[in-house]
Structure 1
Amino acid sequence: MKIKGRKYAGIVAIGCSAFVLGSFVTAKFANAPITVSVVKEAQKINGMDFTDGQADSMLNNLTQYRNSYDALRKLNMPNSIVPALTFNPVPVGFINPDNKDGFKVAKEVKIKLPANRDELAFYTITQLAGLIKTKQISAVDLTKFFIIRLKKYNGKLLNVITFTEEHALKKAAEADAEIAAGHYKGLLHGIPFGAKDLLAQKDYKTTFGAPPYKEQQLNIDATVITRLENAGAILVAKTSLGELAQGDIWFGGKTKNPWDITRGSSGSSAGSASAVSAGCLPFAIGSETLGSIVSPSTECGDTGLRPSFGRVSKYGAMALSWSMDKLGPIARSVEDVAIVFNAMHGTDANDLSTIAAPFNYDGGTKSLKGYKIGYTKVDFDRKYANHANDSVTLKKLQELGAELVPIEYPKMPVGAMTFLLSAEGAAAFQELVLIHKDDDLVQQGKGAWPNIFRSAQFIPAVEYIQANRARTMLIKAWYENLKGLDLYITPSFSTNLSMTNLTGNPCVVLPNGYTPKGRQSSITFMGQLFGEGKLLQAAQVYQNATDFNKRHPDLNF
């Protein structure tokens, strides 16, 4: 089944007879009467208490609502159609942390091609760029090197869904010709990368990691891929994701952690994190809705950036939650993710959720003197798995000159708002529920998408709106709490993870130690909204003072 795309006013519609929601879907229930007893049973789901008379008065309205639902379900609304409502994470009175644009990497160092080319696997972007710029290695040779390495380990790690080899070698040859002609585009020119397979590339399948979409091919390029290729980067693979962006299990199996292949790589940016960790890609693009960059980066010992909501265009990306989805890079170092982010970010006419904001980063920052860095005291005061490593990180930040300031979470029911993701995901993939294609998904447990999507059909629109109103309060409260701080530090897994995916704040997750079993652990640096500049600068100063990101799995399997 090859699904072709049709473009309507900048939106791609997927046309496929298996997913056109004809009248047969709802005809079965169209004539079933809604009665007082039906209303009395349904109110138990919503926690309401109506009298029989009140229920009887509702019957005409409820029947009309259902007729409206039936009419809407007959439309062809594929995943690419966005709602007319756009989430805005900017609180009243917001002031951008950066007042101007500027991007400067750390001072360039001279580098020589290693005698053992296998060492290239763990070189940073700046190191590889130095070799390409000085023509010690060609883009074609570097691209072949990473394709060969991906294929070598993919049998065990299962981190690639589709190799884009023909496309990659063509682009690499173009890069070499441009560089030979003196048209060097910058640090990403000739650098191979991977993209999570929820990002469209017109010449290859975009599977969402899920059986119903295994043969899906869209006739557009995602804006992120376009921008990276315009900067000279070379797409070599579509990396695996847990199906429909949940976990690390996809239709081809379970993506593995290179540090311990008895473990999954976590998700849902499973393949991107695994491939970077194994030295099979210099960087890869992931996405996060509720931890999908933070979690696999932690599991695999990578450095991952989750940008502010609205910083990076989602055009050409699978929608799970229109108000929470974010795209970001996973790489070997903070400076690497800064380089990639600098090429990715910006507004896009094809994505009305993008927001203009300055980005000012100086990779030459050497000290944290003058930085006021918060830390979520309630998290660090409790005992948890990575407490010892995280406590050492706080001490290191003080040694580097930072002033640490304890901060508290807003007294709001953050967990009660996360059903917003369930509601939006259930809308994005309602077609699967209506025609029972959700039964074809690999994961079928109570916590998996099929059950979540089915359950979410009962979330009232009123409660969805009320949760978003509470979210507005949360965004304002957190903005006020962070005033006067440059950034803050938090354990990678805490209330903060859910809260900031709701508020839209950016974060960098990076390795800060080891678990008792020898796998890497992580800490999360959190920024002000659109505060990626200072966030990345501070994270880089810390990372340069440690060596955790320079250690790699031995890959003896």
Structure 2
Amino acid sequence: MKRRVVLLLLVVLSFGSGFFVASRHPFSRKDIGSAQKLIGLQFGKGDVDTMFAYLERNLTGYEAMRSLRLPETTVPPLLFTTNYRTGSKEQHKKIDWSVEANPDAVSEEELAFLNVEQLAALIKAKKVSSVELTQLFLSRIKQYDPTLLAVITVTEELALAQARKMDEELAEGKYRGPLHGIPYGIKDLFAVQGYPTTWGSKPYEHQVLDYNATVVTKLEEAGAVLVAKLTSGALARGDVWFGGQTKNPWDTTQGASGSSAGVGSAVAAGLVPFGIGTETLGSIVSPSSRCGVTGLRPTFGRVSRYGCMSLSWSMDKPGPITKTAMDCAIVLEAIMGPDNLDLTVDDVQLQHPAVLSAKSLRVGYLKGMMESDSTELGKNAIALLNGLMEAGYEMQEIELPAEDSIPYSSFDVILRAEAGAFFDELVRSHGVDKMVEQTGGSRANSLRQSRFIPAVEYLQANRHRQVLMDKMDETMAEIDILIAPTFSRQLLITNLTGHPALAFPTGFDYKSRPTSLTLVGHLFEEEELVAFGAQIQALTDFHVQHPPMFK
């Protein structure tokens, strides 16, 4: 059995390299013949005889690579880029975010559910201090997290030190902007110096990375106060981590969904005013939708991933989860931009969403998908569309690239192959066996099978991905905003193409749980998403509703 496993790995892995060495690997030509069945090919006996020495050489190269440990921050030089062609090389000009000058003081209960803009006004006017806010949210975490399981590590000592510093600076007349003194939480995929970075997984429960992720550094520079490292599904899959399942605050019998589950749950329950999640295939928009909050998945290449666990180097995207669309823009501006560490990041100006006229935006929608959904989710979507049309918005029907021209079933190999490379040592050391979930659909099983994805098929899938990107450009050519069901084919498409998306609540189902829709925008034009989302939230009040048991 061990001989066959070694051979199976040999046949399906990347191109071999290195000098010929004498045969020393115990596999046979018969093993090669059996392995071909996994990749859907059949070579003749003469072909197998010819390739035998190459396969031995490949394995020698693999073993040489495995003997040298790669830091988690090392990425391949093959960098994915979107179809965005006109990236600016000019330094980003900071947005002038104005806040209310003389806000009314509010109760402690109300403070927990105010958005970033409202809290910023109170802090700047000195109606509340950063220390007071920080103590409030630390208290709420201790009170409610045993129910929600949304927090992995409370960073209390760091938070209070940061909060005191922000209060001192404000007293001296130094104001850093709308995030000055605002508490937040971050998905526990991001490195924070002095604290564990567990990646939500048992094998890494005690891992400490001795540096800060770029996003953490940028938020500290903006004046934000880190109160907690929030749960991630194990190695960024689902809502189950080594401590249990993170709960939806609207229905604690239900998981919070998506690997940024802790962020969605904590923001919805008022444990933090905003949080930072990541998305590879739905992990910002999914928990935002499940928990009734607003999540922005930025354009691929907008925000640095340095210091963040990688699931897929060509698909991972950090972004904010907040209470409002405008809050998303405030947080995005703070965390975006190059750092000379993540070479995929471009420096593209973000405009203030308030300068845009939402009614000037060209809007498309996936009518067929919405009308075919007879659940409350579909009904709420249609009701929102009708409301927008009554408010004077013109919309056109849009179709996504057809299945007969795109091999949608092939694209999962991209994520799985890249994840397999990042977690190669975990699989080879059998540390993957320590993960909590070991089912057929678990991350552990996905990582094991990644060894059987041929390099040729990975590259072919990426060639088809380019065709998809071109077709999506054609789909978006006549519109600025696409309104789509959150859980539809657009989720796979736009994560592959790198387009930004904004998920927001649209109402409630028969169990009083939130429903949602997603807005998709052009590459590096998040301000249009936010402008349109903010207009929707000005016409509705779903984003200001709170889970009853956490008020």
TM-score by length of 2: 0.92
Deviation string, structure 1 residues 297-340 (Cα, Å, up to 9, x no partner) = 11111100000000000011011110110000111111111110
The reply to whether residue 373 of structure 1 matches residue 363 of structure 2 is yes
**1:165 is matched with which residue?**
156
- Measure the CA separation in 2 of the matches of 1:160 and 1:175: 24
User: Which residue number in structure 2 is paired with residue 413 of structure 1?
Assistant: 407
8 Å CA contact 2:97, 2:177 repeated in 1: no
- Residues in 1 aligned to 2:258 and 2:493: alpha-carbon distance in whole angstroms: 19
Take 1:378 and 1:347, find their aligned partners in 2: how far apart are those partners?
Answer: 40
Three-state SS of the structure 1 residue aligned to 2:452 is coil
The correspondence of residues 169-180 of structure 1 with structure 2, limited to 5 A, is 169-180=160-171
The answer on 1:125 being equivalent to 2:116 is: yes
Q: Give the conservation status (yes or no) of the 8 Å contact 1:293–1:330.
A: yes
1:216 maps to which of 207, 210, 215: 207
Q: Which residue of 110, 113, 129 maps to 2:105?
A: 113
Question: Structure 2: how far apart are the matches of 1:110 and 1:458?
Answer: 62
Q: Distance in 2 between matches of 1:95 and 1:471?
A: 21
| Correspondences of 1:246-395 after superposition (within 5 Å) | 246-363=237-354, 368-383=358-373, 385=375, 386-395=377-386
Distance 2:534 2:481 in 1: 13
Deviations 1:230-263 (A, max 9, x none): 0111001001111111111111111111111111
Question: In structure 1, what is the equivalent of residue 19 of structure 2?
Answer: none
1:83 aligns with 2:76: yes
**Distance (Å, rounded) in 1 between the aligned partners of 2:388 and 2:211:** 44
How far apart, CA to CA, are the structure 2 residues paired with 1:397 and 1:102?
32
For these two proteins, the number of residue pairs brought into alignment is 524
Q: Deviations over 1:186-238 (max 9, x none)?
A: 11001000010111110211111111111111111111111111011100100
Aligned identity (percent) is 45
Structure 2 residue identity aligned to 1:164 = T
SS of alignment partner, residue 488 of structure 1: strand
Q: 1:458 aligns with which of 429, 452, 463?
A: 452
**CA apart distance, 1:84:** 1.7
For the structure 1 residues 506 and 521, does the alpha-carbon distance in structure 2 shift closer, same or farther, using more than 3 Å as the test? same
Correspondence 1:509 to 2:500: no
Q: Who is 1:67 aligned against? A: 60
Contact in 2 for aligned 1:34/1:63 (Cα 8 Å): no
CA distance in 1, matches of 2:94, 2:129: 29
Cα distance, 1:524–1:101 mapped onto 2, change above 3 Å: farther
Letter in 1 for 2:100: E
Query: 1: CA distance between counterparts of 2:210 and 2:358?
Result: 47
* Equivalent residue letter for 1:380: M
Q: 2:48 aligns with which of 48, 55, 78?
A: 55
State whether residues 502 and 530 of structure 2, in contact with CA within 8 Å, keep that contact through their aligned partners in structure 1. Answer: yes
Mapped pair 1:45 → 2:38: yes
Shift of 1:369: 2.2
SS at match of 1:360: coil
Deviation at 1:400, TM superposition (A): 3.4
Q: Runs of 5+ in structure 2 lacking a partner?
A: 1-22
* 2:17 aligned partner: none
Distance in 2 (CA, whole Å) between partners of 1:384 and 1:243 is: 33
Deviation at 1:104, TM superposition (A): 5.6
Counterpart of 2:129? 138
Q: Deviations along 1:57-87, whole A, 9 cap, x unmatched?
A: 1111111111111111111024322112111
Match of 2:4 in 1: none
CA distance in 1, matches of 2:167, 2:497: 43
Change (3 A) 1:535 1:102: farther
Correspondence 1:540 to 2:531:
no
Secondary structure (helix, strand or coil) at the match of 1:167 reads helix
- Look up the match of 1:425: 419
Would you say the 8 A contact 1:104–1:364 is kept in 2? no
Tell me if the contact between 2:303 and 2:335 (Cα under 8 Å) persists in the aligned partners: yes
CA RMSD, aligned part only?
2.0
User: Given the two structures, how large is their TM-score scaled by the length of structure 1?
Assistant: 0.91
Q: 2:332, 2:529 → 1: CA distance?
A: 13
The alpha-carbon deviation at position 32 of structure 1 amounts to 3.6
- Measure, in 2, the Cα distance between the counterparts of 1:67 and 1:176: 59
CA contact (8 A) 1:290 1:498 kept: yes
Q: Give the Cα–Cα distance (whole angstroms) in 2 for the partners of residues 99 and 313 of structure 1.
A: 16
Q: CA deviation at 1:377?
A: 3.6
**Alignment-derived partner of residue 26 in structure 2:** 33
Is the 1:471–1:503 contact (alpha carbons within 8 Å) kept by the matching residues of 2? yes
Contact 2:119 2:182 in 1 (8 A): yes
User: Would you say the 8 A contact 1:445–1:451 is kept in 2?
Assistant: yes
**Distance verdict in 2 for CA 1:397–1:100, change over 3 Å:** farther
- Structure 2 residue aligned with 1:473: 467
Alpha-carbon distance change, 171 to 467 in structure 1, aligned in 2, over 3 angstroms: same
Partner of 1:500: 494
* Residues in 1 aligned to 2:396 and 2:416: alpha-carbon distance in whole angstroms: 35
Structure 1: give runs of 5+ residues left out of the alignment: 1-29
Asked if structure 2 preserves the Cα contact closer than 8 Å seen for 1:101 and 1:360, the reply is no
Residue identity in the other structure for 1:262:
T
Structure 2 distance, partners of 1:300, 1:425, is: 27
Equivalent in the alignment of 1:13: none
Change in 2 beyond 3 A, CA 1:100/1:224 = closer
Q: Does 1:438 align with 2:432?
A: yes
Instruction: Give 3-state SS (helix, strand or coil) of 1:425's partner.
Output: helix
Structure 2 counterpart SS, 1:447: coil
